[in-house]
Structure formats: structure tokens, C-alpha cells
Amino acid sequence: MTYHNLLFVLAAVFAVWAVMAKKLLTSAIMLASLSAAVSLIFFDFGAPWAGVFELSVCAGLITVLFIGAVSLIRAEEEKHPENRTRFYALPLAVAIFAIAAWFYLPAFFDELATGRQMAAGGGTIGLALWDLRRPDMLGQVLMLAAGVFVIKSVFPRRTENK
């Protein structure tokens, strides 16, 4: 219980840190830590499949992509640093939001929870994907095809220009 809430708090801390970090590289690493915290939460909920995917894809692949892009533009970013006051104000803003929300949101969410409808549960993840969410699989195929064509279109192979 405490461990569970602690993981959520940890995720929030990593999120704030990712926004506040001065170097983009630190931001990217904190984002990976956020992903790792989220995947620990998934494991804690008893959702190992989601946890594994989150850990390998979001904490792994996306971080690699981010770090690649960041290292490409880092020099330029550091030449023109942003105004940092707005980022230093973030902990304050989060604190104000957290205190203000404390009076309203938990009560509201408790009310939301009363409207719940229990499901049968059970089954395996493979069956759920295949039986209940088959159109989504088609969507995934389409998404991956779209991803390939996007990269092909944004970075075309130029033969005649060189």
C-alpha cells in the first residue's frame, strides 16, 4: 500500500525533475526513469505484460531515440539557453496545484469510483488481444506501416542531388 503510493510519488518526482533539468540529456534520462517507475507500478498492479512492454519499449527504445535527437541538436540548444525562471517556478506551481486539488479532486475521484462496474476479469492477455481487441491489432499494423512511410517521407533518399 505505502510502497504502491510511494511509486506514484516517485513517478511524479521524476516527471518534475525531467521538466526542471537544465541539460536536455538529463531530461531524457529522467524521462527514462519515469518510464521505469511507471513500469514498476504496472508490475505492482499485477500487469506484468504491460510492465515488460513499458520497460523495453518506452524506457529503452524511446530513450535511445531521444538521446540520439538530443545529441544532434545539443550544441545549438546550449548556445541559446532558455529563460529558466519559468522552470524554477514549477515546484511552486505543482505545490499550489497539489494543495488546491487536495480539497476537491480526491472527493471527486471517490465519487467517480462509486459509478464503477465490475468486470468478469480472468482470461489471458493473448486471448484478450485476439478476441476482444482484434481491430486494434489491425490499427497497430497500420500504425507501424504509417511510421515506416513517415520516416521515408521526411528523410527521402536523394540520388540526383548529390
Partner 1 sequence: MDKGLLAYLLIPLLSAVIIPFAAKNRPKLADILANVTLLAGLANLAWLALRPSIIRGEFADIPGDGLSLLLVAAIYLVAFCVTFFSAWFLDEHLPNRQAYYSLILVSVAAMCGVVTTTDFFTLYVFIEVLAVTSFALITTDESSGGIEGALKYFFLTFPASALIIVGIAVMMMSLGGLSFESLRIFMAADAPAGTVTFAAALMMLGFLIKAGVAPFHAWTPDAYQGAYAPVSAYLAGIVTKISGVYAIIKLATLLRFFDGRAQAVSEMVMFLGMFSIALGALAALKQTNFKRMLAFSSISQVGYIVLAAGLGTPLAIMGAVFHLLNHATFKTVLFLNSASVEKSAGTTDMDKLGGLEHSMPWTSWTSIVALLSTAGVPPLSGFWSKLLIILALWESGLKTYAVLALLFSIVTLAYFMMMQKKVFFGKKTAAAESSPEVSAPLLAPVVLMSALIVALGLLFPYFYTYVKMVAERIIL
Partner 2 sequence: MSTFAMEWYLIAIIIFTGFYCMLASRSIVRQLIGLEIVSKAAMLSVISAGALTDNLVYAQALIITMIVIEVVVVAAGLALLVKNFRLHGSADIWKLDSLKG
Residues contributing to the site for partner 1 (CB under 8 A):
111-113, 115-119, 133-136, 138-143, 145-147, 149-150, 152-154, 156-161
Q: Which of 29, 33, 34, 40 binds partner 2 (CB under 8 A)?
A: 34
Q: Is 64 in the site for partner 2 (CB under 8 A)?
A: no
Number of H helices, E strands in the chain: 8, 0
Q: Which of 29, 33, 40, 41 binds partner 2 (CB under 8 A)?
A: 41
* CA dihedral (72, 76, 78, 80) positive or negative: negative
Q: Is 99 in the site for partner 2 (CB under 8 A)?
A: no
Q: Is 67 in the site for partner 2 (CB under 8 A)?
A: no
> Scanning the structure block, which residue is given the C-alpha cell 525533475?
17
Question: Do residues 10 and 39 touch, judged by C-beta distance below 8 A?
Answer: no
Q: Indicate the helix (H) or strand (E) that contains 27.
A: helix 24-45
Q: Which of 3, 22, 24, 157 binds partner 2 (CB under 8 A)?
A: 24
Q: Quickly count: other Cβ atoms within 10 Å of residue 4's Cβ.
A: 11
Minimum separation from the CB atom of position 141 to partner 1 (A): 8
